[in-house]
Structures are given as C-alpha cells and as structure tokens.
C-alpha cells in the first residue's frame, strides 16, 4: 500500500475504481479524521474499528483459509506444469532418437 485512501485525489479514485472496491468491501474500519471506510486499517490514516473483536477474529480465520486454498491451488498448478514439462521432454527425447 503506497498511499492511504485519505490521500487519494479525485482523479485517482476514478482511475482505480476496481481497486477501491476491493479496499472498501466490506467496511471494517473508518478514518477518524475524514470518515473514509476500508476493509483493513492500513488503508486509512487514522483507523477506528467499525466491527466487534468477534467479527475481526472470524474475518482473520476466513482470510487465512482463503490464503491457504489459494496457495494449494497455485502449488497444484505448478506441479501440473512441472509434470507436463517432464512428459514433453520425454517425448522430445524419443523423437530425437
């Protein structure tokens, strides 16, 4: 995160609407200075929580599960790619003989 939402200019908001949607959904913190909302406290300069501690724990657990699933999928893709490469190399070697 280079800049907090509090420092974004209007042009940046219009240019990065997709990023803004990711940052602000679901709103969990607000800036106590300008009242902008974000999903994580790093996106605003003076964060105050909008949700209870119980909801924060639930969010962290679901985020961790999502990260693990994403990593597992990525590892599976790498393994498949590696396996495919190995098979291709064998075919090339057979044709060369």
pLDDT given at position 71:
86
Q: What is the pLDDT of residues 1-33, one digit of tens each?
A: 558 888 888 898 889 999 989 988 899 999 999
Provide the pLDDT confidence category of residue 82 given band limits of 50, 70 and 90: confident
**How many Cβ atoms sit within 10 Å of the Cβ of residue 29?**
21
How confident is the prediction for the chain on average, in pLDDT?
80
23 exposure class (CB count in 10 Å sphere: 0-12, 13-18, 19+): buried
User: Per-residue pLDDT for 87 more than 70?
Assistant: no
Residue ranges of the domains in the chain? 1-51
Q: 0.85 exceeded by the pTM?
A: no
């Amino acid at each position: 995160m280079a800049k907090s939402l509090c420092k974004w200019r209007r042009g940046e908001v219009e240019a990065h609407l997709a990023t803004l949607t990711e940052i602000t959904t679901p709103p969990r913190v607000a800036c106590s200075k300008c009242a902008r909302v974000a999903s994580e406290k790093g996106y605003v300069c003076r964060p105050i929580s909008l949700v209870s501690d119980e909801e924060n724990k639930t969010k962290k657990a679901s985020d961790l599960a999502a990260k693990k699933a994403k990593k597992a999928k990525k590892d599976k893709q790498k393994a498949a790619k590696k396996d495919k490469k190995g098979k291709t190399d064998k075919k090339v070697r057979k044709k060369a003989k």
